[in-house]
Amino acid sequence: MNGAYNGTAGWQDTASQSPSRENRIREASDGTLSKRLQDVLDFAYRQGTIGITFKDVDSRLRTHHGQSSSALSNLHKQGQLFRLTDYTRNRCSVYIHPHHSSRFSEAEFDRLPSETKTQKRIRAMHKMTLQIAVLEEENDYLKRKIDALQHNLNQARQSEGEES
């Protein structure tokens, strides 16, 4: 199971050399990360509709917050876990295995991670750009149609003038 983030198990530090970075690279390459992700996925399946939080993962798998949070985020991003939208436990997001999602309405869970405000703006701008392109195309079509109608009208006027 691949959950590597930039070739690491979630390392985002700016330092090119750090123990944290080295540990995350090692975990991504030696199978530790894959095993952790599978363990989290199995745990979520066993918990059923109760779901799991990062605190549950820490307690059960003896991980620390960064490891558990990264695992949950990666599995959610891959669509292997769903995050409940209306429920939290001890102010923590609750994740469920997709196998149990039928017990919830579509509005009660996110299949994919929530968008940040910036991501929402970018998506909205992209949508508007596509709409503008469609409208410009329609506008060009309508201009050609108007030109053709005006041409036909002018020809009809000329032929009416020739007949009189």
pLDDT (tens digit per residue) in 50-65: 999 999 999 999 998 8
| Same domain, yes or no: 83 and 36 | yes
User: Who has greater pLDDT, 27 or 91?
Assistant: 91
Neighbour order of strands in the sheet with 109-110 = 92-96, 82-89, 109-110
State the residue range of the domain holding 91.
19-113
Question: Which residues, in sequence order, are CB contacts of 24 under 8 Å at separation 6+?
Answer: 8, 9, 10, 11
pLDDT at 18: 63
Query: Does 105 lie in the same domain as 84?
Result: yes
Question: Is the same domain home to 146 and 72?
Answer: no
Residue 13 scores a pLDDT above 60? no
Q: Higher model confidence: residue 9 or residue 34?
A: 34
DSSP 31: S
Q: Please report whether residue 8 resides in a domain.
A: no
Tell me whether residue 135 is in a domain: yes
Distance CA 108, CA 52 (A): 15
Can you give the pLDDT at residue 54? 95
Residues 6 or more apart whose CB falls under 8 angstroms from that of 72 comprise 40, 52, 54, 57, 81, 93, 95
* Same-domain status, 88 and 130: no
Write the CATH number for 55. Answer: 1.10.10.10
Residue 126 falls inside a structural domain: yes
* Model confidence at 5: pLDDT above 80: no
Q: Do 105 and 43 have their domain in common?
A: yes
| Domains: count for the chain | 2
Comparing 2-16, 61-75, 106-120, 139-153, the range with the smallest average pLDDT is 2-16
Binning pLDDT at 50, 70 and 90, where does residue 24 land?
confident
Average pLDDT of the chain, as a whole number: 85
Q: Does residue 160 sit in the same domain as residue 122?
A: yes
Residues 138 and 65 in one domain: no
Give the pairing type, strands 109-110 and 82-89.
antiparallel
Q: What is the pLDDT of residue 86?
A: 86
Q: Assess whether 52 and 78 both reside in one domain.
A: yes
Q: Virtual CA dihedral for 143, 148, 149, 155, nearest 10 degrees?
A: 150
